[in-house]
Structure 1
């Protein structure tokens, strides 16, 4: 398999999140950006009850995550952020739009997405995120990406085709896509673009080299 590619999520507030794809073993410290999936384009009203302190903390965790991956900073790696998010989920459930707002919900997802060292935690986070999405309180696109990330770490087929790597033959799924003939239906349900469009964007990124 060729070099992994960072998956970048750009939310409505123009915040960029890298969510590097990888083989199950490890996630590289930095890697080139990937096009933004076209989800989270709706602006969600932030409720008056938003926990501003928790929102700011999650955004700070994201800043540390990105600084380590893109700038070579050292905040102790992913483990401390995973531990803190686990505490937040244990106390509040998934930190959704109503609790922390849209940007911080994305920040929580980025931490979970990068918790490859603790797949059991990722699965716990997935359960909480699923409940939040079903309640309209979190991003279905984030759920799709985390679902596929866990599949990569488990070595099973991915559902949405979000985990892509650059290879000598161009963009290729890190693990196979289950029932690829119907993947665009699942991607549409998650507010993701068709797989062909995603691959076209990835082709441009892969052609740029490391």
Structure 2
């Protein structure tokens, strides 16, 4: 059984994450690659959440409530240096028997993120990156019409509408395409091998 202090601790993990993000945005440092302080916090948060799950079980809505559930998901979504942890959480989400005890939206985002890091097509187009034209665009996906049907089933807007929102947000946060996009992509590829998203055959 989750105690209230543990629930509050999960929420605090999210609060720390967002506070650091806001600070790095204001300092103009967030979008210059994966900031070391951000990565360290993401890893630390993930390890702590993993310990909590081992001790108290998977944090379904009935156990921890909506706010803490959202916080736990954000910690997992940001734990990109720990593929095994993200995949474990995804598997646990999918094993929850009662649909009312999980968020289908959280599962969609997490599944898309895992797919993108493994260089597979995403199903809901929740993940964006810079394209060759210097615009934020959805990363690889299967069929646009099918994706929009999946998004509609979750009550979401279309990929086209979401793309405009994401691009406007980038402008608001002064997030712009890297000067050397090819170099950034190569660095990202090496990082994926380093942390284990990709494996050399």
What is the TM-score normalised by the length of structure 2?
0.70
Does the 8 Å contact 2:42/2:79 carry over to 1? Answer: yes
Task: Please name the residue that 2:61 is paired with.
Answer: 97
Alignment RMSD: 2.4
Count of residue pairs the alignment pairs up: 161
Task: Please name the residue that 1:170 is paired with.
Answer: 135
Residue 104 of structure 1: how far off its partner (Å): 0.5
Gaps of 5+ in 1: 1-48
Does the 8 Å contact 2:138/2:163 carry over to 1? Answer: no
Show the 5 A alignment for 1:122-161. Answer: 122-132=86-96, 134-161=98-125
Gaps of 5+ in 2: 25-36, 176-201
Residue 133 of structure 1: how far off its partner (Å): 7.8
Task: Please name the residue that 1:26 is paired with.
Answer: none
Larger Rg: 2
Show the 5 A alignment for 1:33-72. Answer: 51-72=3-24
User: Which has the larger helix fraction?
Assistant: 2
Show the 5 A alignment for 1:178-189. Answer: 178-189=142-153
Q: Is the counterpart of residue 106 in structure 1 residue 70 in structure 2? A: yes
CA distance in 1, matches of 2:137, 2:97: 28
3-state SS in 1 of match to 2:92: helix
Out of 61-70 and 88-97, give the one that drifted further. Answer: 88-97
